[in-house]
Amino acid sequence: MTKKELKPAIVFEEFAKINQIPRPSKHEEKIIEYLKSVGEELGLPTTVDETGNVIIRKPATPGMENKPCVILQSHSDMVCESLAGKEIDFHNDPIETYVDGEWLCADRTTLGADDGIGCAMELALLRSNDIEHGPIECVFTRDEETGLTGAMGMKAGFMTGEYLINLDSEDEGQFFISCAGGVNTTATFRYEREEAPQGFFFMKAEVKGLKGGHSGDDINKKRANALKLLARFLYQESQKMPLRLAVIDCGKAHNAIPREGVAVFAVPVSEKEQVRIDWNVFLSDVQEEYHVTEGQQELLLGSTEAQKVIENAVAQRIIMALQAIDNGVFNMCQSEELAWLVETSSNLASIHTHDTEAVVVTSQRSCVMSQRANMAATVKACFQLAGAEVEQGDGYPAWQPRANSHLVDVTVQTYRKLFNKEPKVIGIHAGLECGLFAERYPNLDMVSMGPTLRGVHTPEERLHIPSVQLVWDHLLAILKNI
């Protein structure tokens, strides 16, 4: 299969255009301008609200005027991650893609199919002149990945349709009718820097090659967290010997499991060989613990140049907090029907040390809002005990299933008829904008769907090409039969 053979061609053509346009989260100006230009080029009513959300309205095709209005919704931003050594400026450079069998991939970066492929389907519908549909509203929200800014800033009345199809899910044949709510907890440690004591030897520990992944979808897959691994070794050694911390940098996005990181620290010269021995034991332990899920992991330890260190009392509190903080699955859903679904979790997402402060970002999720609050409070309390300044956002709500959903009924029935197989109607532990839409539009009937993606939020992100055709055919059937 080559790029020229990608089907449906109209969708992949639009996706190729989108991937020429830089669109990092919180920097969506270029993609917003492009979407606006498409609507104006087609002569369709186009609005950009004060938050940066775009809506393009297309009237019904002849004979479909009495159909209810359907909203198609995707987010216009993407997570920007690259492998070490890949030179790319996500604010100016396009995403380079290639075909690997049945998968569309990017060259050592995130692909942007989350959620560029959803945007591409909407643009394909807007440009089409041979597809039957009632009135549609194509909505493109901004900054979903780092704050749900677009959905949060959207005012009631921006959308007018009766039904909403969210095109931001990642498994063809699975239709999502609920999602977790979430909140971020950020801790800031302030300190002074000083020279390391005489007779100390500087070392650098690195973790590379982990799978990482989405902190909602992948949190229960026993993937290693690079930050937790570094913290674990630092804590272990700090309990054995004087250890002075200079740097710990790890992770990028709040909604991604950190894949790689580095820590620079100093120990007495007399202890350096013991640290190397301990590292080898640690490496063996980690390889055994994650031999199933982390086949490409690299844990490296070497010497490095001396530099100023963080004042010791604060450094020890940082290390202890990172060791103690909850990470991973906290509870599974209690009902038998959803026993496979994560209820509550927390992700230790990143830490970055600067001259006078270290900033730690975490995210908590739950489909039970009281448990989301409890998990967030647990994380906050841990950081408070460590003497950090802690901030928490308002977060976003869970999306609860709607009883007797006509849209879900049509979605399931058309899928059965098209493909002669049974789909799955389920909830998802990741956050979706549908929870926020439900607050502002309580009567809106919603479902989330999309083609199969793997490795989202990482440079391993890839799109299953045949699934795009299936989702496209299904989407057109829903629009025709709703």
DSSP single-letter state for residue 171 = S
Q: Find out whether 222 and 288 touch, Cβ atoms under 8 Å.
A: no
Catalytic residue among 14, 77, 294, 433: 77
Residues 6+ apart with CB under 8 A from 472: 8, 11, 121, 124
Tokens read off for 135: 């009135």
CB-based contacts of 370: which residues, under 8 Å, 6+ apart? Answer: none
Out of 81, 144, 170, 172, the active site residue is 144
Active site residue 172: no
- Cα–Cα distance between 92 and 23 in angstroms, integer? 9
Unique residue bearing structure tokens 């709510």: 181
Distances (CA, A) of 300 to 40, 83, 242, 285: 54, 17, 21, 14
- Cis? peptide before 135, omega within 30° of 0: no
Measured between alpha carbons, how far is 376 from 108 in angstroms, rounded to an integer?
Answer: 34
Asked if residue 170 lies in contact with residue 217, where contact means CB atoms within 8 angstroms, the answer is yes
Looking at this protein, which amino acid is placed at residue 183? V
Q: Which helix (H) or strand (E) holds 221?
A: none
Under 8 Å between Cβ of 468 and 12: yes
Q: How far is CA 75 from the centre of its chain?
A: 12
- Quote the tokens at residue 59: 């009237």
DSSP per residue, 101-159: TTEEEESSB---HHHHHHHHHHHHHHH-SS---S-EEEEEES-TTTT-HHHHHPPTTS-
Residues shown for the chain: 482
Q: Are 383 and 186 in contact (CB under 8 A)?
A: no
Active site residue 168: no
Residues with a catalytic annotation lie at 77, 144
